[in-house]
Structure 1
């Protein structure tokens, strides 16, 4: 390895690795990430119903209407309302559950306390809870409530400030009384906060938090520069073995999920889609084959390798990379700590991001409007993400081709290097 390569590797290992490890393991960020991921299957199911209820093919819509009547779209929205429209309500439970479990205290009790507290601070309409705040608009408050309520619960339990019942009382009853004091303190605290905000600020905690937290994050995460920054952070930390995308999502995922939901609402209403950059956009139109857009490299390894080792890596790495699982290549090739791959690994997602962003900005490709699984294979994922537009599938094909071209000269370099080493080994053996 050259002296320059050694210096780069030393810098990444000594400077970036400790930072990434510390951030990636931060308890509260992990709880937010795990809590949001827990509810993702429900949101994906809701996305399928969004696509079916607003499919951009009149013949299909007429056929379904003929079978199920004119109310079929409204009936499908029942599932959408039970998933997308209560996103924050669900996450209030799962995030607190995750954080409490990390402290080895009852996740269920902490989750229920958080859920109740979230309802407490949510504005009421004439018919009950205002549904507008139970979905993506309430995510920031759900995160705040979940973290605070779980921390209060943990504090009282670990300090043993709880009501203890005799040993002959059933365990389920005893556990419920353990939650009594922290529940009373938490609910009283947020009740006072709600009264103060409504009396002094003449607003509610949802609108206040969005003004001070949501709007700045929206400004950062909704533009081209925000996407470039997210890609650079992801790529640099992955190069030292830290899951950089998890670091980015721990901050930006609530905002990007909200953007997906706002796009979904506009799509169903037939209005202009407001956001190009969102959670689905990054997963489907940037990370094709996982971080680094490694599907292009996997195809080269599979079809063009002369080295036996590289050819084996292609056979091992291509199938999972199609589903955006690129760890076999990240640690087997390896990509991690490999200066020879650093340049295309960073450049490829930046180029693909720019291509995708510009294509949608000029109206050549439909924006992403629903949530699809991050592991959805290319072409299918692009078609579904855009609400059933073929332009999304075509864009993914172009991205794969572009990333393959970017990786090609670097692939040839590492393949020839591996081939020389193999031939040298064989000569020695002979």
Structure 2
């Protein structure tokens, strides 16, 4: 066991930990996360515009008549989330390079806007199409935001900037330092979009089409679920590693589903936005550990696990499971790693088929992740009561999977407390 642990630590854990700290992945992750308040608040206006209430109710009729006005906050937040993400990526990447983060965020936003060609509309003048400022433009947003900050960094390192005397206020000096990088980015993006007539969004959409299709399949759901629990098993924050790559795709799904609801579509295009994982797969946190906590509360015989179960139940209800992962521990625990990996794969399969068969509505609202799962699932599906049943079904299944493994581990812990066994190596 010691050799296996050393192998995991040196050959798997350390390289994956370094990957999780890669500056561009961190900037993408933090940039997307910085937009979450706008996505969460904006998505709730979809519920207000289309309340999960009988059509005969007066409030439903009022919402239907005023849907266009109610959805304006949604259009200005979640619907143009790429604009917020661009600033977040640019800001965080520039900050990691220790160059002016405000300029980095602004350059990234300008770069994104220059990928879109304005149109002239009578009585309105120049109009920017909003479709590429939402989830469908997220891939291009990531590319041009990183590119623009790298140009900024290159100019800064090579001192291709305008330097002002020290007596000039710092804010003015920083603005002039960004002047040449901004000019290069604007000229480059103008050359691509205007002179060459390249629609980067359409080009990237065609290139990413297989990825979008694959990510919405059962296989595309099971792969990130497996990888996240696999990394967590070695003490690596799995969501940080996998989410940096997968979250842009999940946000595209979420926005497309939200727009389908806003346009009055009968069916939603995607099964696998991030709320599917949050509310139906990772119930209680990565590994679906709420079921494990319930098993601890009901079946633990060792004093340590009894006390731990009482301690972690409240955080687990609100999807905070680091105390479980590191307190049991699950990390590098040869007994509990098995159900920790298997359980979410099973709940993911059930959630996928329940959604694809129409037993539960697809998710389209980004509810706060700290809500209890039944509440979050109900909100994320726009008020589908069947989602609550699916949550409890998956909790029951997770209990059944964890129980036999937990009993084995509990016996070992009880023997250790009675002095009849040695710690698990």
Question: With structure 2 as the length reference, what TM-score do the two structures score?
Answer: 0.93
Could you tell me whether the CA contact under 8 Å between 2:87 and 2:105 is conserved in 1?
Answer: yes
**Equivalent residue number for residue 249 of structure 1:** 243
**Equivalent residue number for residue 357 of structure 2:** 362
Shift of 1:11: 3.4
After superposition, the C-alpha distances for 1:139-186 in whole angstroms (9 at most, x for unaligned) are: 111111110111111222233221111122122111111111111111
Separation in 1, partners of 2:50, 2:364: 11
Of residues 107, 117, 126 in structure 1, which corresponds to 2:111?
117
Q: Secondary structure at the match of 1:247?
A: helix
**Equivalent residue number for residue 276 of structure 1:** 271
The reply to whether residue 291 of structure 1 matches residue 315 of structure 2 is no
Matches within 5 A, 1:136-285: 136-195=135-194, 197-198=196-197, 203-212=198-207, 214-268=208-262, 269-285=264-280
Separation in 1, partners of 2:64, 2:252: 30
**Number of equivalences:** 415
**Equivalent residue number for residue 48 of structure 1:** 44
Shift of 1:61: 5.2
Change (3 A) 1:241 1:196: farther
The reply to whether residue 404 of structure 1 matches residue 399 of structure 2 is yes
Could you tell me whether the CA contact under 8 Å between 1:283 and 1:374 is conserved in 2?
Answer: yes
Could you tell me whether the CA contact under 8 Å between 1:88 and 1:135 is conserved in 2?
Answer: yes
Structure 1 stretch 298-307 or stretch 21-30: which is displaced more? 298-307
Q: Secondary structure at the match of 1:424?
A: coil
**Structure 1 unaligned blocks of 5 or more:** none
Shift of 1:244: 1.6
**Equivalent residue number for residue 20 of structure 2:** 24
Shift of 1:418: 0.8
Shift of 1:343: 1.0
**Structure 2 unaligned blocks of 5 or more:** 122-126
Q: Secondary structure at the match of 2:162?
A: coil
RMSD: 1.8
Structure 1 stretch 99-108 or stretch 262-271: which is displaced more? 262-271
Change (3 A) 1:33 1:419: same
Question: With structure 1 as the length reference, what TM-score do the two structures score?
Answer: 0.92
Separation in 2, partners of 1:25, 1:101: 14
Could you tell me whether the CA contact under 8 Å between 1:9 and 1:339 is conserved in 2?
Answer: no
The reply to whether residue 332 of structure 1 matches residue 331 of structure 2 is no
Could you tell me whether the CA contact under 8 Å between 2:27 and 2:93 is conserved in 1?
Answer: yes
Could you tell me whether the CA contact under 8 Å between 1:101 and 1:107 is conserved in 2?
Answer: yes
Shift of 1:304: 2.3
Shift of 1:375: 2.2
Shift of 1:22: 2.1
Change (3 A) 1:197 1:56: farther
Of residues 415, 419, 422 in structure 2, which corresponds to 1:424?
419
Change (3 A) 1:280 1:194: same
Shift of 1:264: 1.3
Structure 1 stretch 189-198 or stretch 328-337: which is displaced more? 189-198
